[in-house]
A and B are shown apart, each in its own frame.
Chain A
Amino acid sequence: MNGLHGIIFSYEKEPGLRELVERRMPGSIPFGGRYRVVDFMLSNMQNAGITDVGVVLHGNYQSLLDHVGNGKTWDMSRKYGGLRILPPFADSHRHHSEEYRGKMEALAGVRSYLEEIRQDYVVLADSDLIINIPLAEVYRSHVLSGADITCVCRQDYQSTENATFFELGADNRILKTLCSPKKPTGYHCLEIYILSKELLLRLVDECAAEEKYSLRRDVLNGMSGSLNLRGYVWNGRAAQIRTVQEYFDKSMGLLEPAVYRDLCAAGRPIRAKEDDEAPTYIAPESSCVNSLVADGCIIEGTVENSILFPGVTVKKGAVVKNSILFKHTVVEEDARISFVIADKYVLVRKGETLAGNASYPMAISKNSVV
């Protein structure tokens, strides 16, 4: 299938993610023991046969660039097309020193790229949505339904701030779009949209001409009279992560085998950049239960209900419970940690005790020595 082109947005700062976004965009937050959040959307696109993807960037995107590289991981390092990184272009009429205010503005910022798209249809998606969805099916349903824009949505009322909700009518036609409603009702918009390239370009130009920047307000809401908008109801799992608490809860949810299977081990694989670590070694007289463990770890202590990223060391006598330890974290002898999210290269010294709470996990910045 060569009819669909991918656009992934990574420009929104999420202050609710605190320490986790000190040095990165939400899309490059490590998730699930070996992934970055953006791996999910890139893999969804790869699994749908999409070969050309543009990643619209703004902000502190160095970590994201390091991670996606040339796109080889998702077979998107191509002679023609493939993965393209799209920082704000100098030719856009506004100088984007500030954050994009909305998707339409972000798209206008890369207008010249959009024109070169080789495919007839485009799927727009956020880099920070955790989902394993068959986009090929969404695309088929879009073409069959004759809709102008198909919006993926789901019946959930998680307390995501700034969320969009749809009221659906017959044939899943979108009757109403609610932006950040006080009381969520209807279908939660997952910010995955499919539309034709032609319509996309027209909408970008129309919005730019009227200084409009928001996709949901100015297009979904503002043009609902003239556009045929349809919801695609997704009944599977999905998570938008906007706060440390949501990050913690969704991560821990993976310890439920069914969740882990649906998201990471389904027939549609999620691919992540290779870490080139040797297998993990679990020492005698250690214990490691109900946990996800990546490669390159050395476990000599006790690990329970936790997620360990590559190269984590848990020394003798150390106890790690209900925690998420990013790459190369070291927990020294007899240290005890619980409800902690330790960013990369954190060192927890011998005998220290660190405890967060299930309702307020403690996040520790990269390279900290505690």
Chain B
Amino acid sequence: MKKECIAMLLAGGQGSRLYVLTENMAKPAVAFGGKFRIIDFPLSNCSNAGIDTVGVLTQYRPLELNAYIGSGQPWDLDRNDGGVHILPPYQSATGASWYKGTANAIYQNIGFVDMYDPDYVVVLSGDHIYKMDYADMVERHKAAGTACTISVMEVPWSDASRFGIMSVDENDTITEFAEKPKEPKSNLASMGIYVFTWSKMREYLIADENDPNSDNDFGKNVIPAMLGSGEKMVAYRFAGYWKDVGTLDSLWDANMDMLATGSGLDLLERDWPIYGRSTSAPPAFLGKGSHVEHSVITRGCTVEGKAENSVLSENSVVEEGADVEYSILMPGAVVKKGAKVNYAIIGENAVIGENAVVGAAPDGSEGWGISVVGPETAIPTGFTLAAKHMIDSGMKEVAR
């Protein structure tokens, strides 16, 4: 059945800069904000924008992600016509190959896209936290009659050299693209969200595949090639909350942004809901001696101790006398009696033993940073994990 527009969601990345958190799962499956996973954001955006056909390109450790997406029902994407499709690399008559890059991942699924014969394809990443109406971007793409529309946002000039930077003319037509430029000519950063006219995109994907020197990456190869050939490309300005949560610090920051009024990240707003696969846990229970302030808390949590400035995910537990501050407890994490957790990310189902100490408040020193406990890790009673240290489920220190 023909669709005007479908989405391709790149969810295959390992997310190596999340270290222990992605040991057993792909980055888009990492928990976020108490009851979500990162991939809930692009999937919910698609659902809210009326895009009912989404291909999810998976590669690295897809078990968790596949199980989570399932039939797509939580996002209303279980459809007879369209819906969500998981697209792993596959074997064909000419051999088998992994996805070599973002562009190659879609190249290998040209057959899937052709099945829906779309006019436009939206390309999304599985590691961004934001609410965005892709339908509006597609409208803009149509109206401008371009080959490609790239969503951009203004970043501080001092940060511009960390991004793919677009130079535009007065109509926001892109004149130049520079990947992480030393001396940026603009502060419009690419958000890695693209709308392509499928016929054009198809052409360039095939050309890119035939170029042995290409890294088969959208940002590095396909976009510059299109620009170089004189295709009309337009920037779509986005002004809302957006964060790439590819690093431990940015993941921690984005979680904390849920608490900061004025950060722009308001998940309690009901006009653009973020959906997630639910667990059957009962409501959160805050005990007689509990003290919870400036925190988010969700179903299945039990708090008997103290939690401040923290994100408590599904089924996490803070026992009596335990103290959690400026931290993220991922689903099922348990902080035992008398333990202290400060400026830390505690992975799924990790247990912080009695009177253990994880992380420390910033002391202005060079070596300070967020402490991280990997999923399923059992920190023994009385153990101390210093600031910026990271430990995996085998109780092995991991350097970063």
Binding site for B on A (CB under 8 A): 32-34, 43, 72, 257, 260, 264-265, 269-272, 274, 276-296, 298, 307-308
**How long is the Cα–Cα vector from A292 to B297 in the complex, in angstroms?**
11
Question: With contacts A260-B282, A269-B280, A279-B34 known, is A274 near B74, CB below 8 A?
Answer: yes
Q: Are A293 and B281 in contact (CB under 8 A)?
A: no
B-side interface mostly: loop
Q: Are A283 and B284 in contact (CB under 8 A)?
A: no
Considering the complex, give the chain A residue whose CB is closest to the CB of B278. A274
Chain A CB within 10 A, most for which of B258, B267, B289, B292: B292
Question: With contacts A32-B283, A72-B73, A260-B285 known, is A282 near B268, CB below 8 A?
Answer: no
Q: Are B299 and A281 in contact (CB under 8 A)?
A: no
Contacts of B268 in A (CB 8 A): 277-278, 281, 296, 298
A-B contact pairs, 12 of them (CB 8 A): A33-B282, A43-B280, A278-B274, A278-B296, A279-B34, A279-B312, A282-B292, A283-B294, A288-B290, A289-B290, A294-B299, A308-B283
B172 interface hit (Cβ, 8 Å): no
Q: Are B288 and A290 in contact (CB under 8 A)?
A: yes
Contacts of A34 in B (CB 8 A): 282-283, 299
B380 interface hit (Cβ, 8 Å): no
Q: Are B298 and A295 in contact (CB under 8 A)?
A: yes
Smallest beta-carbon distance A227→chain B, Å: 38
Contacts of B258 in A (CB 8 A): 279, 281
A-side interface mostly: loop
Smallest beta-carbon distance A146→chain B, Å: 35
Q: Are A285 and B278 in contact (CB under 8 A)?
A: no
Contacts of A72 in B (CB 8 A): 73
Smallest beta-carbon distance A324→chain B, Å: 12
Contacts of A280 in B (CB 8 A): 284, 296-298
Q: Are B283 and A294 in contact (CB under 8 A)?
A: yes
**Contact residues on B (Cβ < 8 Å of other chain), bracket:** 35 or more
Smallest beta-carbon distance A273→chain B, Å: 9
Q: Are B275 and A276 in contact (CB under 8 A)?
A: yes
Q: List 5 additional contacts besides A279-B33, A294-B284; criterion CB under 8 Å.
A: A257-B302, A280-B297, A280-B298, A289-B286, A292-B286
B33, B273, B286: the one contacting A288 at CB < 8 Å is B286
Chain B CB within 10 A, most for which of A293, A294, A296: A293
Considering the complex, give the chain B residue whose CB is closest to the CB of A255. B285
B278, B281, B286: the one contacting A290 at CB < 8 Å is B286
B154 interface hit (Cβ, 8 Å): no
A32, A286, A296: the one contacting B282 at CB < 8 Å is A32
Smallest beta-carbon distance A232→chain B, Å: 26
Smallest beta-carbon distance A208→chain B, Å: 39
B362 interface hit (Cβ, 8 Å): no
Considering the complex, give the chain A residue whose CB is closest to the CB of B259. A281
Smallest beta-carbon distance A90→chain B, Å: 32
Contacts of B287 in A (CB 8 A): 257, 289-290
Considering the complex, give the chain A residue whose CB is closest to the CB of B273. A276
Considering the complex, give the chain A residue whose CB is closest to the CB of B287. A290
B35 interface hit (Cβ, 8 Å): yes
Smallest beta-carbon distance A133→chain B, Å: 17
Q: Are B298 and A279 in contact (CB under 8 A)?
A: yes
B136 interface hit (Cβ, 8 Å): no
CB under 8 Å from chain A, chain B span 8-56: 33-35
Smallest beta-carbon distance A41→chain B, Å: 15
Q: Are A281 and B296 in contact (CB under 8 A)?
A: yes
**How long is the Cα–Cα vector from A178 to B325 in the complex, in angstroms?**
58
Contacts of A291 in B (CB 8 A): 285-286
**How long is the Cα–Cα vector from A308 to B283 in the complex, in angstroms?**
9
A276, A277, A283, A298: the one contacting B293 at CB < 8 Å is A283
**How long is the Cα–Cα vector from A215 to B314 in the complex, in angstroms?**
43
**How long is the Cα–Cα vector from A280 to B298 in the complex, in angstroms?**
6
Q: Are B293 and A286 in contact (CB under 8 A)?
A: yes
**How long is the Cα–Cα vector from A109 to B326 in the complex, in angstroms?**
60
Q: Are A284 and B294 in contact (CB under 8 A)?
A: yes
Contacts of A296 in B (CB 8 A): 268
B214 interface hit (Cβ, 8 Å): no
Q: Are B296 and A282 in contact (CB under 8 A)?
A: yes
Contact with A along B316-342 (1 / 0, CB 8 A): 000000000000000000000000000
Smallest beta-carbon distance A29→chain B, Å: 16
Contact with A along B68-79 (1 / 0, CB 8 A): 000001100000
Contacts of B74 in A (CB 8 A): 274
Considering the complex, give the chain B residue whose CB is closest to the CB of A328. B270
B295 interface hit (Cβ, 8 Å): yes
**How long is the Cα–Cα vector from A276 to B73 in the complex, in angstroms?**
12
Smallest beta-carbon distance B9→chain A, Å: 20
**How long is the Cα–Cα vector from A10 to B299 in the complex, in angstroms?**
28
Contacts of B284 in A (CB 8 A): 280, 292-294
Chain B CB within 10 A, most for which of A274, A285, A294: A274
**How long is the Cα–Cα vector from A126 to B368 in the complex, in angstroms?**
59
B73, B278, B296: the one contacting A279 at CB < 8 Å is B296
Q: Are A282 and B35 in contact (CB under 8 A)?
A: no
Q: Are B299 and A295 in contact (CB under 8 A)?
A: yes
Q: Are A295 and B35 in contact (CB under 8 A)?
A: yes
Q: Are B293 and A282 in contact (CB under 8 A)?
A: yes
A265, A298, A307: the one contacting B281 at CB < 8 Å is A265
Contacts of A264 in B (CB 8 A): 282
Contacts of A279 in B (CB 8 A): 33-35, 258, 267, 296-298, 311-312
